[in-house]
């Protein structure tokens, strides 16, 4: 079961777990409050490949911002199946190598097909 717990409830559960009895009076003394809540806090060592993790997050942010910028400028990435015509058997022909593919397979094939690279660039397919 997915029970949604409010933020206030989780804070109270944490205060109970730390065995803080009178938290309202503790909050009046800032230093006392900080020592009380940090008493049982465990710190973990920094991950071995932290540089790689940070780099990965930054790369995701760059990609996300580029996508948002493209959407803001109305640069629309077109779909392969919107540009190609179906035959009678519901298959699409690759514009590069002229092989026939089902709708599920044509997109990945066209993006990977060496002969169709110019066609992809011309039609703005990533």
Q: Where are the domains of the chain?
A: 7-38, 44-75, 80-122
> 74-85: per-residue pLDDT in tens?
766 778 888 888
Q: CB atoms < 10 A from the CB of 115, how many?
A: 13
Q: CB atoms < 10 A from the CB of 119, how many?
A: 17
Residue 87, token pair as written in the block: 């035959």
> 3-45: per-residue pLDDT in tens?
788 988 898 898 888 888 888 998 899 998 898 888 877 777 8
Average pLDDT over residues 38-57: 86
Average pLDDT over residues 90-102: 91
pTM for this entry: 0.41
**pLDDT at res. 76:** 67
**pLDDT at res. 56:** 95
Pair 126, 76: CB distance under 8 Å: no
């Amino acid at each position: 079961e997915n029970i949604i717990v409010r933020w206030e409830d989780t804070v109270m559960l944490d205060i109970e777990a730390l065995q803080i009895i009178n938290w309202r009076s503790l909050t009046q003394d800032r230093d006392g409050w900080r020592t009380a809540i940090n008493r049982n806090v465990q710190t973990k060592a920094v991950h071995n490949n932290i540089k790689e993790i940070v780099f990965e997050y930054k790369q995701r942010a760059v990609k996300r911002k580029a996508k948002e910028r493209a959407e803001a400028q109305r640069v629309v990435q077109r779909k392969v199946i919107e540009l190609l015509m179906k035959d009678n058997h519901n298959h699409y022909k690759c514009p590069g190598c002229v092989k026939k593919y089902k709708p599920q397979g044509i997109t990945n094939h066209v993006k990977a097909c060496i002969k169709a690279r110019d066609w992809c660039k011309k039609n703005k397919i990533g």
